[in-house]
Structure 1
């Protein structure tokens, strides 16, 4: 049996921006109830009073604030060490059969080098390679007859160790990216594994980004 509470919750969950606004307490519940009243009545196939919708929204916002924020806060407090690297370069290549072979040769040459940064990500049509500036000449040697789509230098990265329960925490990355966006920090690249996330930004934003990430543990 459909109840006003269940219908309101399903409706709000389908609207990420409303969901976020409710958890932050910045949505006028009376105005929202008036806006969504027609949709809820259509879903329930009967008349629904605005006052009942407001009460359902109020209960939902309180529950969501605990369910979402409490779990995210707990995960953020469990974050491990934060590693910062600067002087990085991002190379963006179109995918073709040669790129993977050149990448393998490049990895073989740098395998014995220490204190360098290297990561790659492959999409449907493009491959990104991000490396320390100190080994960019080696990379360009192996890719000398490949034309990159874009080369971006003066980048820096922040790598954060995540607790094991991050995998079961919905909205964790959204929360992190939202805080960075609020501070006007543009993310160039995101690389993640099960228990690590690396965020690549311009060097001019690295200090601000580091402060945002570090302060997340105090949320």
Structure 2
């Protein structure tokens, strides 16, 4: 059994999360800015399908990408050198979320419901949620969005319409976060795709220990703007 959260119920300790399904911690509550920030500070994130109650997760182990360790393939490095793209930040947050929510091959639906979009748009307006966008020939070709607290970035989802467009955005994000002194990019769940880009799993205890320090650093406030000499 997992606890049900009411309006003012605090999250239970992440160590009490279930092992099957891995990381399921609690249900209920809301997706207010305050509740979401409380969750991310503790290494907790919401993930549920439309029509389900809000479910909160903190899996063990945790997939993370340390910014200096991003892995760039030879073909991607060539694409980056050609620089036939433009990187923008926070110029199309809703469009990035909508693109991430679009149906994908082999998937029956999406967890990025209208309720989630509304919640993260509120986080974006509050200065905590950001999008990194790859534009090619004036069109949004790919990108990602996530939440920044202190010097930790919590990746939520990414998409591409042109090959490598989401990877380009991730490389620029990692390079900029390294320059800003961010300690990690949270990737939440393990996938082979993320592993190929340099992400790896660490114990939840290590993740939360690192997080407890990183979220207390001063963050980068307002609309993000990346340096132009990152790659």
TM-score normalised by L of structure 2: 0.26
TM-score, structure 1 normalization: 0.27
Q: Which protein has the larger Cα radius of gyration, Structure 1 or Structure 2? A: 1
